[in-house]
A and B are shown apart, each in its own frame.
Chain A
Amino acid sequence: MTDALRDKIRGFILENYLFTADTKALGMDDSLLGRGIVDSTGMLEIIFFIEEQLGVKVKDEEMIPDNLDSVNRIATFVEARRKAA
């Protein structure tokens, strides 16, 4: 998994939900919902980000916590989809 991808995902979440550039504010494995960082509409925005900025289409049935509820999970999911493509 590339660090550039993880940094891009973390950067998006930091800027849009934590309003900071301080990378210490979000751990790579922090639960986005559990920590109250994003809510239901925030998760929808993250899906749009993955599709538009990272170029990976998220199928409805792929919208599960295992794929989306932390920076590392999103990165793993995106990598796997890119490889499969």
Chain B
Amino acid sequence: MSLVDAFTACAAADPAASALIWNNASWSYGELARARAGVSAALRGAGLARGDRVALLLRNSPQYVAALYGTLGAGGVAVALNALERSEVLARQITHSGSRLVLADPAHIEFEKLSALLAERDVRVIACATPDTTTALAQFTAAFPADDAPPAQCADNEPALLIYTSGTTGRPKAVVLSHGNLESNARAIAAYLDLTAADRAFCVLPFHFSYGNSVLTSHLTVGGALIIEDNLAFPQRSLQRMSNLRATGFAGVPSTFTLLLTRASFGDYDFSALRYATQAGGAMTRVAIARLRQELPRTRMFVMYGQTEATARISYLPPERLDTKLGSVGVPVAGTEIEICDPAGTPLPVGKVGEVRVRGPGIMLGYWEDPAATRDAIRDGWLWTGDLGHKDEEGFLYIDGRSVEMIKVGAFRVSPYEVEEAIALLPGVEEVAVGSVPDEVLGQAVKAVIVLRDGAQVDALAVKAHCRQSLATYKIPKIVEFAAQLPRTMTGKVQRMQLNN
């Protein structure tokens, strides 16, 4: 059974049940099912063949969900683009994925530029507006009329979704997830959270991001609902909405909770309906966890660990163990195994730190059209996560760091190479190295150290302004420093770790 089949079964069982609640719009299961069928019909009408990629450039909205499930239901492979990226990166990813069709919001800030770039490349852009008004559904079904064709039946090992984890020119990297990956991980999550049709989760996480995608798919698999929120710029208002709508679940990354705890208080509202809260996307401080538990004494807190390459979820800490296992990310989700190994693949004893490797139904098919990177990540059936960790005597996992140079801003991965590549294009820059600095809210922020050509006049503001042209906002260096030379090893390799202070 695929995600679409599971969703369609829920829609048939209770078509009037709420599926998505967003600002002024609310879409029931029956309405979303018709919208899904409408997108599938439009894509088939546009000549979509089984396995063809369809890129989605839509903000978090019911329309995004209809586009995602509509693509899967037509037998296509969805390419979930990050709506924060700039047109050049988006065009590169669309080309790299071989997408011939793009469902894009005409109101997206990069829409005009992107359409111009794609017109040269024989890619068809289908406009998909994302209004949040009471008439949004009627507008959508008029633009995408449904037919009675049942959803395409795809095998578990067929590709379903591409998620880009890097946008570098040399090597854009897209994780390929299968129908089986998505469905099995959604069910594993639903199982440990005890999700039912009575649940309604408050979701501020972007759907193009594996965690946000997992919140969406796990709820739509069991008939639950999602309250979609665009941002947390006004935390007090978000909490009020969450309370008024009687949310039963809340999913966040550490920065989400920091934003909420810094300028608002859960204690000011009634959260008696809030059954659970989940946290993933990097370690949260013990102080923040303690504060959250104090403000939400009746809510079960799940600390979790995962990776896009494993669909989303790898492990979770059962809430009743939070006190005795503070700092742990818990035990594997159903059907998944975790080992700590040395580089040769020999499992290490309890307490020893090594690389975390994972096996199970959520492990990706590979990186899109990149067999070398796939062979590097998946060896002997195990996904090598690049994370360092250890297990205790009861088998609980602890994460001790990253073995690869990746910066995490909020919960988003930023490749230092991508930022270096962008800065290197600025006239006057001789060399650049990118690392990170600790950030109170986001965990880490990007830092760039630049060596200028003789006589070049470039200041930090010019570097940031230049980056803003080609990089998503969260990738723009917060700190820009100039130096006479970069820190290097004896062999001449740049030492990025030296930058991180």
A and B are partners in one complex rather than unrelated chains: yes
B447 to chain A, nearest CB (A): 16
Complex Cα distance A21/B465, Å? 10
Task: Determine whether the beta carbon of A40 is less than 8 Å from that of B109.
Answer: no
* A68–chain B nearest beta-carbon distance, Å: 8
Complex contacts, A20 vs chain B, CB 8 Å: 461, 465
The answer to whether A41 has its CB under 8 Å from any CB of chain B is: yes
Q: Does B133 contact A (CB under 8 A)?
A: no
Q: Which residue of A lies closest to B461 (CB)?
A: A19
Cα-based distance from A4 to B84 in the complex (angstroms): 33
- Give Cα A18 to B462, complex, Å: 10
**B464-501 interface with A by 8 A CB criterion:** 464-465, 467-468, 473-474, 476
Inter-subunit contact A40/B231 (CB<8 Å): yes
B461 touches A41 (CB 8 A): no
Contact residues of B between 2 and 19, Cβ < 8 Å to A: none
A1-37 interface code vs B (CB 8 A; 1 in, 0 out): 0000000000000010111110000000000010110
Whether A41 pairs with B255 at a CB distance below 8 angstroms is: yes
Nearest CB of chain A from residue B448's CB, rounded to whole Å: 13
Given A19-B465, A40-B259, A47-B263, CB of A35 within 8 Å of CB of B109 = yes
CB-defined contacts of B262 to chain A, threshold 8 Å: 44
Is B464 touching A39 in the complex (CB atoms < 8 A)?
no
A64 CA / B467 CA spacing, docked (Å): 30
B397-452 interface with A by 8 A CB criterion: 410, 441-442
Give the Cβ gap from A80 to chain B, nearest Cβ, in Å: 18
Residue A52, interface by CB 8 Å: no
Q: Does A38 contact B (CB under 8 A)?
A: yes
For the complex with contacts A33-B233, A63-B237, 12 further pairs of A-B residues with Cβ separation under 8 Å are: A17-B473, A20-B461, A36-B84, A39-B473, A39-B474, A40-B231, A41-B255, A41-B441, A44-B441, A60-B236, A64-B236, A68-B233
Interface CB pairs A-B, < 8 A, 15:
A18-B465, A33-B231, A33-B233, A35-B109, A38-B233, A39-B233, A40-B233, A40-B259, A41-B410, A44-B259, A60-B235, A60-B236, A60-B263, A63-B264, A65-B234
Give the interface of A toward B (CB within 8 A).
15, 17-21, 33, 35-36, 38-44, 47, 60-61, 63-65, 68
10 interchain residue pairs of minimum CB distance: A19-B465, A43-B233, A19-B464, A40-B232, A40-B233, A40-B231, A60-B236, A63-B234, A19-B461, A41-B441
